[in-house]
Amino acid sequence: MEDFLEYDEKDLHDDEVMIMDDIIHKASKYLDHDDIRKIQKAYIYAADAHKWQKKLSGEDYNTHPLRATQCLLTIRPDVQTIQACILHDVIEDTPITYQDIKKEFGIEVATLCEWLVKVSKVRYQWEDRQVETLKKTFLAMAQDLRVIFVKLADRMHNIQTLRFHPK
């Protein structure tokens, strides 16, 4: 668990290519060459979609889904889950739609991305926070358990970068 919470200052200066090299290296241990090409395609697509966005840390936005993907790789997910993790904020934060993702990556990846948006949009009242968290969890699990794994990886990276967010 400590590895997930570590976020060294040097990590801010790692460029996307270095992070992507690490993802490819880890995924290559259990996925074939065609799957690696699909991961690279998702990276190029997400990098283009997020090219004008920055994180509060000053990093290019696309480092966030890549860092989340590094967290996700600890469970050796399938290629569609990896692609969805890399693309997880594209529908929510850019003009790209579900149909665009479906056309480029297929219905499975598009549906995972769409469900990630739905889980993110479930809001809660302060007094019902635990109940709403459970609602989000069950909503996602009812569709596809992989949504939960991507959302957890997303949250883990967000926790690692909390110090850059206003109090």
Tell me which residues are annotated as active site.
92-93
Strands (E), the chain: none
Residue 127 corresponds to which tokens in the numbers above? 């007094």
Beta bridge partners of 93: none
d(CA 6, CA 161): 9
Residue 123 corresponds to which tokens in the numbers above? 């809001």
Residue 156, CA distances (Å) to 1, 5, 37 in order = 10, 7, 26
Length of the chain: 167
Amino acid at 90: V
